[in-house]
Structure 1
Amino acid sequence: MNLLLLSNSSSDAGYLVHALDWIRPLVPAPAAGPAVFVPFAGVTRTWDAYEALVAQAMAPLGCELRSLHRAADARAELARAALVIVGGGNTFNLLHHVRRLGLLEPLRARVRDHGLPYLGWSAGANLACPTIRTTNDMPIIDPAGFDALGLVPWQINAHYTDAHPPGHRGETRRQRLAEFCQVNPDTPVLGLPEGTGLRIEGAAASLLGHADAYLFRGQSAPQALPPGRLELPV
Protein backbone atom coordinates (compact mmCIF):
# COMPACT_ATOMS: atom_id res chain seq x y z
CA MET A 1 0.00 0.00 0.00
CA ASN A 2 0.94 3.63 -0.44
CA LEU A 3 -0.56 5.79 2.32
CA LEU A 4 0.06 9.19 3.91
CA LEU A 5 -2.06 9.76 7.03
CA LEU A 6 -1.76 13.24 8.55
CA SER A 7 -2.87 14.49 11.93
CA ASN A 8 -3.82 17.92 10.59
CA SER A 9 -4.07 20.03 7.44
CA SER A 10 -3.81 23.64 8.63
CA SER A 11 -0.70 25.22 10.11
CA ASP A 12 0.85 28.64 10.65
CA ALA A 13 2.51 28.26 7.24
CA GLY A 14 -0.82 27.72 5.46
CA TYR A 15 -3.15 24.93 4.42
CA LEU A 16 -1.21 21.68 3.85
CA VAL A 17 2.00 23.69 3.42
CA HIS A 18 3.82 21.78 6.16
CA ALA A 19 3.07 18.48 4.38
CA LEU A 20 3.64 19.33 0.70
CA ASP A 21 7.03 17.65 0.55
CA TRP A 22 5.50 14.51 2.09
CA ILE A 23 2.60 14.60 -0.38
CA ARG A 24 4.73 15.15 -3.49
CA PRO A 25 5.70 11.46 -4.01
CA LEU A 26 2.01 10.47 -4.10
CA VAL A 27 1.00 12.93 -6.82
CA PRO A 28 0.39 11.14 -10.14
CA ALA A 29 1.78 12.16 -13.49
CA PRO A 30 -0.88 14.01 -15.55
CA ALA A 31 -1.33 11.07 -17.92
CA ALA A 32 -1.95 8.63 -15.06
CA GLY A 33 -5.33 10.09 -14.09
CA PRO A 34 -6.81 12.63 -11.70
CA ALA A 35 -6.54 13.03 -7.98
CA VAL A 36 -10.03 12.42 -6.61
CA PHE A 37 -11.01 14.41 -3.53
CA VAL A 38 -13.49 13.08 -0.95
CA PRO A 39 -14.99 16.19 0.74
CA PHE A 40 -17.70 14.52 2.81
CA ALA A 41 -16.18 15.28 6.22
CA GLY A 42 -16.99 18.93 5.55
CA VAL A 43 -20.07 20.12 7.43
CA THR A 44 -19.96 23.85 8.16
CA ARG A 45 -17.65 24.27 5.16
CA THR A 46 -19.50 23.54 1.92
CA TRP A 47 -18.13 20.83 -0.32
CA ASP A 48 -17.63 23.38 -3.12
CA ALA A 49 -15.57 25.57 -0.78
CA TYR A 50 -13.65 22.56 0.50
CA GLU A 51 -12.78 21.47 -3.03
CA ALA A 52 -11.52 24.96 -3.87
CA LEU A 53 -9.40 25.12 -0.71
CA VAL A 54 -7.69 21.77 -1.34
CA ALA A 55 -7.24 22.45 -5.07
CA GLN A 56 -5.45 25.70 -4.24
CA ALA A 57 -3.26 23.97 -1.65
CA MET A 58 -2.31 21.18 -4.07
CA ALA A 59 -1.69 23.49 -7.04
CA PRO A 60 2.06 23.90 -6.34
CA LEU A 61 2.40 20.14 -6.92
CA GLY A 62 0.73 20.33 -10.34
CA CYS A 63 -2.13 18.13 -9.14
CA GLU A 64 -5.39 17.94 -11.12
CA LEU A 65 -8.19 17.63 -8.57
CA ARG A 66 -11.74 16.32 -9.00
CA SER A 67 -14.19 16.23 -6.11
CA LEU A 68 -16.50 13.24 -5.75
CA HIS A 69 -19.47 15.41 -4.83
CA ARG A 70 -19.60 16.63 -8.44
CA ALA A 71 -19.42 13.18 -10.01
CA ALA A 72 -22.52 11.78 -11.69
CA ASP A 73 -21.15 8.32 -10.92
CA ALA A 74 -18.91 8.40 -7.84
CA ARG A 75 -17.82 4.78 -8.20
CA ALA A 76 -16.75 5.32 -11.80
CA GLU A 77 -14.87 8.45 -10.84
CA LEU A 78 -13.07 6.55 -8.09
CA ALA A 79 -12.17 3.81 -10.59
CA ARG A 80 -10.38 6.41 -12.77
CA ALA A 81 -8.44 7.94 -9.86
CA ALA A 82 -4.65 7.87 -9.68
CA LEU A 83 -4.71 9.32 -6.14
CA VAL A 84 -7.49 9.56 -3.57
CA ILE A 85 -7.47 12.45 -1.09
CA VAL A 86 -9.77 12.24 1.93
CA GLY A 87 -10.15 15.51 3.80
CA GLY A 88 -10.76 16.09 7.49
CA GLY A 89 -13.78 17.43 9.31
CA ASN A 90 -16.41 15.26 10.95
CA THR A 91 -15.57 11.56 10.70
CA PHE A 92 -19.16 10.40 11.23
CA ASN A 93 -20.36 12.56 8.35
CA LEU A 94 -17.53 11.29 6.16
CA LEU A 95 -18.28 7.62 6.81
CA HIS A 96 -22.03 8.19 6.39
CA HIS A 97 -21.63 9.56 2.87
CA VAL A 98 -18.91 7.12 1.81
CA ARG A 99 -21.19 4.26 2.86
CA ARG A 100 -24.30 5.92 1.33
CA LEU A 101 -22.56 6.06 -2.05
CA GLY A 102 -21.39 2.47 -1.82
CA LEU A 103 -17.72 3.50 -1.86
CA LEU A 104 -16.34 1.76 1.21
CA GLU A 105 -15.56 -1.59 -0.42
CA PRO A 106 -14.40 -0.22 -3.80
CA LEU A 107 -12.11 2.28 -2.08
CA ARG A 108 -10.67 -0.40 0.20
CA ALA A 109 -10.00 -2.70 -2.76
CA ARG A 110 -8.35 -0.03 -4.90
CA VAL A 111 -6.03 1.11 -2.10
CA ARG A 112 -5.26 -2.20 -0.40
CA ASP A 113 -5.25 -4.58 -3.37
CA HIS A 114 -4.32 -2.37 -6.31
CA GLY A 115 -1.95 0.20 -4.79
CA LEU A 116 -3.99 3.39 -5.29
CA PRO A 117 -2.15 6.09 -3.28
CA TYR A 118 -4.22 7.37 -0.35
CA LEU A 119 -3.78 10.76 1.33
CA GLY A 120 -5.95 11.51 4.35
CA TRP A 121 -5.84 13.97 7.20
CA SER A 122 -7.71 14.00 10.49
CA ALA A 123 -11.07 12.34 9.62
CA GLY A 124 -9.43 11.04 6.45
CA ALA A 125 -6.77 9.35 8.58
CA ASN A 126 -9.47 7.91 10.85
CA LEU A 127 -11.21 6.40 7.81
CA ALA A 128 -8.09 4.35 7.04
CA CYS A 129 -8.35 2.56 10.40
CA PRO A 130 -10.36 -0.57 11.24
CA THR A 131 -13.06 1.63 12.79
CA ILE A 132 -13.69 5.33 13.48
CA ARG A 133 -14.05 4.75 17.23
CA THR A 134 -11.00 6.82 18.19
CA THR A 135 -12.03 9.99 16.38
CA ASN A 136 -12.43 13.18 18.43
CA ASP A 137 -15.65 14.13 16.64
CA MET A 138 -19.25 14.26 17.81
CA PRO A 139 -21.57 11.65 16.26
CA ILE A 140 -23.66 14.26 14.44
CA ILE A 141 -25.08 11.64 12.06
CA ASP A 142 -25.54 7.88 12.16
CA PRO A 143 -22.98 6.29 9.78
CA ALA A 144 -24.75 2.90 9.99
CA GLY A 145 -21.79 1.30 11.73
CA PHE A 146 -18.31 2.26 12.86
CA ASP A 147 -16.33 -0.10 10.59
CA ALA A 148 -14.04 1.81 8.24
CA LEU A 149 -11.50 0.89 5.55
CA GLY A 150 -9.16 -1.22 7.68
CA LEU A 151 -6.10 -0.26 5.65
CA VAL A 152 -3.98 -0.40 8.81
CA PRO A 153 -4.50 -2.80 11.74
CA TRP A 154 -4.43 -0.15 14.45
CA GLN A 155 -6.46 2.91 15.35
CA ILE A 156 -5.38 6.57 15.02
CA ASN A 157 -6.22 9.49 17.25
CA ALA A 158 -5.48 12.64 15.27
CA HIS A 159 -4.66 16.02 16.85
CA TYR A 160 -3.38 14.13 19.87
CA THR A 161 -2.62 16.29 22.91
CA ASP A 162 -2.51 15.69 26.61
CA ALA A 163 -3.25 19.32 27.41
CA HIS A 164 -5.41 19.89 30.47
CA PRO A 165 -6.24 23.59 30.98
CA PRO A 166 -6.43 24.85 34.58
CA GLY A 167 -9.96 24.53 35.90
CA HIS A 168 -11.04 22.01 33.26
CA ARG A 169 -12.66 19.02 34.98
CA GLY A 170 -13.19 16.77 32.00
CA GLU A 171 -11.01 13.84 31.02
CA THR A 172 -7.77 14.32 29.11
CA ARG A 173 -7.29 12.71 25.72
CA ARG A 174 -4.96 10.21 27.38
CA GLN A 175 -7.74 9.18 29.76
CA ARG A 176 -10.22 8.79 26.92
CA LEU A 177 -7.84 6.58 24.94
CA ALA A 178 -7.14 4.55 28.09
CA GLU A 179 -10.87 3.86 28.25
CA PHE A 180 -10.83 2.60 24.67
CA CYS A 181 -7.84 0.35 25.38
CA GLN A 182 -9.47 -1.00 28.54
CA VAL A 183 -12.44 -2.20 26.48
CA ASN A 184 -10.36 -3.14 23.41
CA PRO A 185 -7.06 -4.45 24.83
CA ASP A 186 -5.98 -6.07 21.56
CA THR A 187 -6.37 -2.92 19.43
CA PRO A 188 -3.45 -0.45 19.60
CA VAL A 189 -4.05 3.27 19.14
CA LEU A 190 -1.54 5.76 17.75
CA GLY A 191 -1.89 9.30 19.07
CA LEU A 192 -0.64 11.66 16.33
CA PRO A 193 0.24 15.19 17.52
CA GLU A 194 -0.16 18.21 15.27
CA GLY A 195 2.43 18.45 12.52
CA THR A 196 2.98 14.70 12.27
CA GLY A 197 2.01 12.07 9.75
CA LEU A 198 2.32 8.37 9.05
CA ARG A 199 3.88 7.18 5.80
CA ILE A 200 3.01 3.62 4.82
CA GLU A 201 4.95 2.08 1.94
CA GLY A 202 4.27 -1.61 1.52
CA ALA A 203 5.00 -3.25 4.87
CA ALA A 204 7.01 -0.29 6.24
CA ALA A 205 5.62 2.50 8.44
CA SER A 206 7.41 5.75 9.31
CA LEU A 207 6.49 8.68 11.54
CA LEU A 208 7.02 12.06 9.84
CA GLY A 209 7.42 15.39 11.58
CA HIS A 210 9.29 16.63 14.63
CA ALA A 211 7.18 15.31 17.51
CA ASP A 212 6.78 11.92 19.14
CA ALA A 213 3.64 9.91 18.54
CA TYR A 214 2.18 7.85 21.39
CA LEU A 215 1.23 4.20 21.26
CA PHE A 216 -1.62 3.10 23.56
CA ARG A 217 -2.15 -0.60 24.09
CA GLY A 218 -4.10 -2.45 26.79
CA GLN A 219 -3.39 -1.20 30.29
CA SER A 220 0.25 -0.31 29.58
CA ALA A 221 1.48 3.26 29.93
CA PRO A 222 1.55 5.13 26.59
CA GLN A 223 4.81 4.57 24.72
CA ALA A 224 6.51 7.52 23.03
CA LEU A 225 7.50 6.78 19.42
CA PRO A 226 10.13 9.12 17.95
CA PRO A 227 10.07 10.18 14.29
CA GLY A 228 11.48 7.62 11.90
CA ARG A 229 10.81 3.96 11.16
CA LEU A 230 8.09 2.41 13.32
CA GLU A 231 8.15 -1.20 14.39
CA LEU A 232 4.43 -1.71 13.85
CA PRO A 233 2.52 -4.25 11.80
CA VAL A 234 1.07 -2.92 8.55
Structure 2
Amino acid sequence: MTDLLLLSNSTNHGRDPLEHARDAVAEVLDGRTELVFVPFALADHDGYTERIATAVAPLGVRVRGLHTAADPVAAVRSAPAVFTGGGNTFRLLAELYRRELLEPLRDRVSEGMPYLGASAGTNIAGPTVRTTNDMPIVEPPSLTSLGLVPFQLNPHYVDPDPASRHMGETREKRLAEFHECNDIPVLGLREGTWLRVRGDWAELAGVSTSGGAPGRLFRRGAPGEDVSGDVSDLLAPASEPVWG
Protein backbone atom coordinates (compact mmCIF):
# COMPACT_ATOMS: atom_id res chain seq x y z
CA MET A 1 0.00 0.00 0.00
CA THR A 2 1.37 3.40 -0.98
CA ASP A 3 2.40 5.34 2.13
CA LEU A 4 3.43 8.95 1.51
CA LEU A 5 4.00 12.17 3.43
CA LEU A 6 4.61 15.02 1.00
CA LEU A 7 5.52 18.29 2.73
CA SER A 8 5.43 21.68 1.07
CA ASN A 9 8.46 22.72 3.14
CA SER A 10 10.69 21.15 5.74
CA THR A 11 11.11 24.30 7.86
CA ASN A 12 8.62 26.98 8.88
CA HIS A 13 9.97 30.47 9.50
CA GLY A 14 11.36 30.81 13.01
CA ARG A 15 11.14 27.10 13.80
CA ASP A 16 13.48 24.12 13.67
CA PRO A 17 13.48 21.72 10.70
CA LEU A 18 10.37 19.48 10.67
CA GLU A 19 9.14 20.97 13.95
CA HIS A 20 5.79 21.95 12.44
CA ALA A 21 5.25 18.44 11.03
CA ARG A 22 6.88 16.26 13.69
CA ASP A 23 3.66 14.45 14.62
CA ALA A 24 2.96 13.70 10.95
CA VAL A 25 6.51 12.40 10.47
CA ALA A 26 6.16 10.16 13.54
CA GLU A 27 2.84 8.83 12.25
CA VAL A 28 4.16 7.83 8.83
CA LEU A 29 7.32 6.26 10.29
CA ASP A 30 5.08 4.22 12.62
CA GLY A 31 7.77 3.14 15.08
CA ARG A 32 10.57 2.68 12.55
CA THR A 33 13.92 3.64 14.02
CA GLU A 34 15.94 4.09 10.84
CA LEU A 35 15.58 6.42 7.87
CA VAL A 36 17.52 6.77 4.63
CA PHE A 37 17.86 10.44 3.69
CA VAL A 38 18.31 11.60 0.08
CA PRO A 39 20.26 14.91 0.22
CA PHE A 40 20.99 15.37 -3.49
CA ALA A 41 18.89 18.54 -3.96
CA LEU A 42 21.57 20.51 -2.05
CA ALA A 43 25.33 20.60 -2.59
CA ASP A 44 26.24 20.06 1.09
CA HIS A 45 25.15 16.45 1.54
CA ASP A 46 26.82 15.95 4.93
CA GLY A 47 25.45 19.14 6.47
CA TYR A 48 21.95 18.53 5.16
CA THR A 49 21.90 14.97 6.47
CA GLU A 50 23.09 16.16 9.86
CA ARG A 51 20.26 18.71 10.08
CA ILE A 52 17.65 16.07 9.32
CA ALA A 53 19.24 13.64 11.77
CA THR A 54 18.97 16.28 14.49
CA ALA A 55 15.35 16.97 13.56
CA VAL A 56 14.19 13.35 13.89
CA ALA A 57 16.41 12.36 16.82
CA PRO A 58 13.61 13.19 19.34
CA LEU A 59 11.54 10.50 17.60
CA GLY A 60 14.23 7.89 18.25
CA VAL A 61 15.09 7.70 14.55
CA ARG A 62 18.61 7.23 13.15
CA VAL A 63 19.41 8.76 9.75
CA ARG A 64 21.71 7.40 7.07
CA GLY A 65 22.65 9.72 4.22
CA LEU A 66 22.23 7.93 0.90
CA HIS A 67 25.36 9.67 -0.39
CA THR A 68 27.45 7.63 2.06
CA ALA A 69 26.23 4.25 0.79
CA ALA A 70 28.75 2.18 -1.17
CA ASP A 71 25.78 0.79 -3.14
CA PRO A 72 22.97 3.37 -3.18
CA VAL A 73 20.59 1.07 -5.04
CA ALA A 74 21.01 -1.64 -2.42
CA ALA A 75 20.57 0.95 0.33
CA VAL A 76 17.21 2.01 -1.14
CA ARG A 77 16.09 -1.58 -1.66
CA SER A 78 16.72 -2.35 2.02
CA ALA A 79 15.57 0.99 3.48
CA PRO A 80 12.77 0.87 6.07
CA ALA A 81 11.78 4.41 5.01
CA VAL A 82 13.13 7.12 2.71
CA PHE A 83 13.01 10.90 3.12
CA THR A 84 13.99 13.07 0.16
CA GLY A 85 14.85 16.64 1.11
CA GLY A 86 14.37 19.94 -0.66
CA GLY A 87 16.65 22.20 -2.61
CA ASN A 88 16.89 22.33 -6.40
CA THR A 89 14.52 19.90 -8.09
CA PHE A 90 16.55 19.60 -11.29
CA ARG A 91 19.75 18.80 -9.44
CA LEU A 92 17.88 16.19 -7.38
CA LEU A 93 16.31 14.52 -10.39
CA ALA A 94 19.58 14.53 -12.35
CA GLU A 95 21.34 12.78 -9.48
CA LEU A 96 18.57 10.18 -9.17
CA TYR A 97 18.93 9.40 -12.88
CA ARG A 98 22.73 9.32 -12.68
CA ARG A 99 22.69 6.91 -9.75
CA GLU A 100 19.84 4.81 -11.28
CA LEU A 101 17.64 5.28 -8.22
CA LEU A 102 14.23 6.12 -9.69
CA GLU A 103 13.15 2.54 -10.36
CA PRO A 104 14.33 1.21 -6.96
CA LEU A 105 12.47 4.03 -5.21
CA ARG A 106 9.27 3.30 -7.18
CA ASP A 107 9.58 -0.40 -6.41
CA ARG A 108 10.04 0.12 -2.68
CA VAL A 109 7.11 2.53 -2.46
CA SER A 110 4.91 0.03 -4.32
CA GLU A 111 5.94 -2.54 -1.70
CA GLY A 112 4.68 -0.26 1.07
CA MET A 113 7.86 1.50 2.18
CA PRO A 114 7.03 4.95 3.59
CA TYR A 115 8.24 7.80 1.42
CA LEU A 116 8.62 11.28 2.88
CA GLY A 117 9.40 14.29 0.73
CA ALA A 118 9.79 18.01 1.27
CA SER A 119 9.86 20.69 -1.43
CA ALA A 120 11.96 19.16 -4.23
CA GLY A 121 11.43 15.75 -2.64
CA THR A 122 7.70 16.38 -2.99
CA ASN A 123 8.01 17.68 -6.55
CA ILE A 124 9.49 14.38 -7.74
CA ALA A 125 6.54 12.41 -6.32
CA GLY A 126 4.42 13.59 -9.26
CA PRO A 127 4.61 12.21 -12.81
CA THR A 128 7.01 14.97 -13.91
CA VAL A 129 8.77 18.00 -12.42
CA ARG A 130 7.29 20.43 -14.95
CA THR A 131 5.48 22.37 -12.18
CA THR A 132 8.48 22.99 -9.95
CA ASN A 133 9.38 26.58 -9.07
CA ASP A 134 13.11 25.95 -9.45
CA MET A 135 15.64 27.18 -11.99
CA PRO A 136 17.03 24.37 -14.21
CA ILE A 137 20.63 24.74 -13.01
CA VAL A 138 21.41 21.29 -14.46
CA GLU A 139 19.73 19.24 -17.19
CA PRO A 140 18.34 15.84 -16.18
CA PRO A 141 17.96 13.19 -18.90
CA SER A 142 14.19 13.61 -18.60
CA LEU A 143 11.62 15.59 -16.63
CA THR A 144 9.79 12.36 -15.82
CA SER A 145 9.99 11.66 -12.10
CA LEU A 146 8.68 9.04 -9.66
CA GLY A 147 4.96 9.20 -10.45
CA LEU A 148 3.93 8.13 -6.94
CA VAL A 149 0.73 10.15 -7.37
CA PRO A 150 -1.09 10.72 -10.71
CA PHE A 151 -1.13 14.53 -10.50
CA GLN A 152 1.41 17.33 -10.51
CA LEU A 153 2.59 19.06 -7.34
CA ASN A 154 3.60 22.64 -6.63
CA PRO A 155 5.11 23.04 -3.14
CA HIS A 156 5.60 26.53 -1.66
CA TYR A 157 2.46 27.71 -3.42
CA VAL A 158 2.08 31.49 -2.97
CA ASP A 159 -1.18 33.33 -3.60
CA PRO A 160 -1.14 36.45 -5.77
CA ASP A 161 -0.60 39.67 -3.83
CA PRO A 162 -3.27 42.16 -4.99
CA ALA A 163 -1.15 45.06 -3.70
CA SER A 164 2.00 44.03 -5.58
CA ARG A 165 3.30 46.17 -8.45
CA HIS A 166 5.45 43.36 -9.79
CA MET A 167 4.48 42.76 -13.42
CA GLY A 168 5.92 39.24 -13.76
CA GLU A 169 3.87 36.05 -13.69
CA THR A 170 2.24 35.01 -10.45
CA ARG A 171 2.37 31.35 -9.45
CA GLU A 172 -1.26 31.01 -10.53
CA LYS A 173 -0.43 32.45 -13.97
CA ARG A 174 2.45 30.03 -14.44
CA LEU A 175 0.21 27.07 -13.60
CA ALA A 176 -2.40 28.39 -16.03
CA GLU A 177 0.32 28.34 -18.70
CA PHE A 178 1.05 24.73 -17.79
CA HIS A 179 -2.61 23.88 -18.39
CA GLU A 180 -2.52 25.49 -21.81
CA CYS A 181 -0.43 22.47 -22.82
CA ASN A 182 -1.39 19.75 -20.32
CA ASP A 183 -4.55 18.15 -18.97
CA ILE A 184 -3.51 16.94 -15.54
CA PRO A 185 -4.44 18.40 -12.12
CA VAL A 186 -1.86 20.44 -10.20
CA LEU A 187 -2.04 20.57 -6.42
CA GLY A 188 -0.43 23.64 -4.89
CA LEU A 189 0.71 23.19 -1.29
CA ARG A 190 0.92 26.31 0.84
CA GLU A 191 3.77 26.70 3.34
CA GLY A 192 3.30 24.68 6.53
CA THR A 193 1.08 22.05 4.90
CA TRP A 194 1.39 18.54 3.53
CA LEU A 195 -0.34 15.77 1.62
CA ARG A 196 -0.76 12.39 3.31
CA VAL A 197 -1.46 9.38 1.09
CA ARG A 198 -2.24 5.82 2.19
CA GLY A 199 -3.41 3.48 -0.53
CA ASP A 200 -6.50 5.00 -2.17
CA TRP A 201 -6.91 7.68 0.53
CA ALA A 202 -5.35 11.15 0.42
CA GLU A 203 -5.69 14.05 2.84
CA LEU A 204 -4.39 17.60 2.99
CA ALA A 205 -3.33 18.70 6.45
CA GLY A 206 -1.13 21.15 8.33
CA VAL A 207 -1.60 24.84 8.99
CA SER A 208 -0.90 27.26 6.17
CA THR A 209 1.47 30.00 7.30
CA SER A 210 -0.36 32.43 5.02
CA GLY A 211 -3.82 31.47 6.26
CA GLY A 212 -6.58 29.69 4.39
CA ALA A 213 -6.81 26.13 3.15
CA PRO A 214 -3.73 23.88 3.00
CA GLY A 215 -3.92 23.51 -0.76
CA ARG A 216 -5.07 25.09 -3.98
CA LEU A 217 -6.13 22.84 -6.85
CA PHE A 218 -5.79 23.74 -10.52
CA ARG A 219 -7.43 21.93 -13.42
CA ARG A 220 -7.36 22.67 -17.13
CA GLY A 221 -10.09 25.08 -18.14
CA ALA A 222 -11.23 25.83 -14.59
CA PRO A 223 -10.36 28.46 -11.98
CA GLY A 224 -8.19 27.42 -9.04
CA GLU A 225 -10.01 26.30 -5.91
CA ASP A 226 -8.95 26.01 -2.29
CA VAL A 227 -8.98 22.43 -0.99
CA SER A 228 -8.49 20.78 2.38
CA GLY A 229 -9.13 17.47 4.08
CA ASP A 230 -10.00 14.44 1.95
CA VAL A 231 -8.73 14.76 -1.64
CA SER A 232 -8.79 11.05 -2.48
CA ASP A 233 -10.51 11.77 -5.81
CA LEU A 234 -7.18 13.10 -7.07
CA LEU A 235 -5.76 9.58 -7.00
CA ALA A 236 -7.84 8.59 -10.03
CA PRO A 237 -5.67 8.10 -13.16
CA ALA A 238 -4.86 11.39 -14.86
CA SER A 239 -5.34 12.31 -18.49
CA GLU A 240 -2.47 12.27 -20.95
CA PRO A 241 -0.64 15.54 -21.71
CA VAL A 242 -2.23 17.79 -24.32
CA TRP A 243 0.87 19.66 -25.63
CA GLY A 244 -0.61 22.54 -27.49
Cα deviations by residue, 1:193-231 (Å, 9 ceiling, x for unpaired)? 0011000011000001134211101020001112x1114
Q: Any conservation in 2 of the 1:28–1:82 contact (CA below 8 Å)? A: no
* Corresponding residue for residue 88 of structure 2: 90
**Aligned: 1:6 with 2:7:** yes
Counterpart of 2:76, as a letter, is L
How many angstroms does 1:93 deviate by? Answer: 0.4
How many angstroms does 1:166 deviate by? Answer: 2.6
How many angstroms does 1:26 deviate by? Answer: 2.2
Distance (whole Å) between structure 1 residues aligned to residue 96 and residue 21 of structure 2: 25
* Corresponding residue for residue 117 of structure 2: 120
| Secondary structure at 2:74 match in 1 | helix
How many angstroms does 1:13 deviate by? Answer: 2.4
Cα deviations by residue, 1:21-54 (Å, 9 ceiling, x for unpaired)? 0010222545xx73100000013xx111000000
Q: Any conservation in 1 of the 2:89–2:124 contact (CA below 8 Å)? A: yes
Q: Any conservation in 2 of the 1:37–1:65 contact (CA below 8 Å)? A: yes
Distance (whole Å) between structure 1 residues aligned to residue 119 and residue 137 of structure 2: 16
Q: Structure 1 stretches of 5 or more lacking a match?
A: none
| Secondary structure at 2:141 match in 1 | coil
> Runs in 1 of length 4+ with deviation above 4 angstroms?
none
Distance (whole Å) between structure 1 residues aligned to residue 30 and residue 165 of structure 2: 49
Distance (whole Å) between structure 1 residues aligned to residue 15 and residue 199 of structure 2: 30
Distance (whole Å) between structure 2 residues aligned to residue 123 and residue 36 of structure 1: 16
Q: How does 1:156-171 map to 2 (within 5 A)?
A: 156-164=153-161, 166-171=164-169
| Secondary structure at 1:57 match in 2 | helix
| Secondary structure at 2:117 match in 1 | strand
How many angstroms does 1:168 deviate by? Answer: 1.0
Distance (whole Å) between structure 1 residues aligned to residue 72 and residue 200 of structure 2: 29
* Corresponding residue for residue 239 of structure 2: none
Distance (whole Å) between structure 2 residues aligned to residue 38 and residue 219 of structure 1: 36
Q: Any conservation in 1 of the 2:200–2:232 contact (CA below 8 Å)? A: no
Identity %: 49
* Corresponding residue for residue 75 of structure 2: 77
* Corresponding residue for residue 103 of structure 1: 101
Counterpart of 2:72, as a letter, is A
* Corresponding residue for residue 51 of structure 1: 49
Q: Any conservation in 2 of the 1:36–1:68 contact (CA below 8 Å)? A: yes
* Corresponding residue for residue 23 of structure 1: 25
How many angstroms does 1:167 deviate by? Answer: 2.5
Q: Any conservation in 2 of the 1:188–1:218 contact (CA below 8 Å)? A: yes
Q: Structure 2 stretches of 5 or more lacking a match?
A: 236-244
* Corresponding residue for residue 135 of structure 2: 138
| Secondary structure at 1:93 match in 2 | helix
What is the TM-score normalised by the length of structure 1?
Answer: 0.93
Cα deviations by residue, 1:52-93 (Å, 9 ceiling, x for unpaired)? 000001111111110110111001111111000000000000
Among 197, 200, 203, the residue aligned to 2:200 = 203
Distance (whole Å) between structure 2 residues aligned to residue 9 and residue 178 of structure 1: 26
Distance (whole Å) between structure 1 residues aligned to residue 28 and residue 202 of structure 2: 15
Q: Any conservation in 1 of the 2:160–2:172 contact (CA below 8 Å)? A: no
Distance (whole Å) between structure 2 residues aligned to residue 95 and residue 143 of structure 1: 6
What is the TM-score normalised by the length of structure 2?
Answer: 0.90
Counterpart of 2:109, as a letter, is V
Cα deviations by residue, 1:101-152 (Å, 9 ceiling, x for unpaired)? 000011111102x001000010000111000010000000011110000000
How many residue pairs are counted as aligned between the two chains? 227
Q: What RMSD over aligned residues (CA atoms) do the two structures have, in Å?
A: 1.3
